[in-house]
Amino acid sequence: MQLHSHFAAAVLALALLATASLAAASETTPRPWTWAWPDTDFSKAAVGFSEIRSGGPPKDGIPSIDAPAFISVEEEDSLDPREPVIGFTVDGEARAYPLRILTWHEIVNDEIAGVPVAVTYCPLCNAAIVFDRRVGGQVLEFGTTGKLRKSDLIMYDRQTESWWQQFLGEAIVGEMTGTRLTMLPSRLESWARFKERHPEGEVLVPNDPDMRRYGDNPYIRYDSASQPFLYDGSLPQGIEPMAYVVAVGEEAWTLALLREQETIERGDLRLSWSTGKASALDSRQIAEGRDIGNVVVRRRDASGAWQDAVYDLTFAFVFHAFRPEGRIHQE
Task: Find, among 71, 234, 207, the residue nearest to 151 by Cα.
Answer: 234
Calculate what percentage of the chain has a pLDDT beyond 90.
Answer: 91
Rounded CA-CA distance 83/217 in Å is: 12
Banded model confidence at residue 24, pLDDT cuts 50, 70, 90: low
How does pLDDT run across 214-261, given as a tens digit for each residue?
A: 999 999 999 999 999 999 999 999 999 999 999 999 999 999 999 999
Rounded CA-CA distance 249/38 in Å is: 35
Tell me the sheet residues that pair with 180: 170
How does pLDDT run across 273-315, given as a tens digit for each residue?
A: 999 999 999 999 999 999 999 999 999 999 999 999 999 999 9
Average pLDDT over residues 177-183: 98
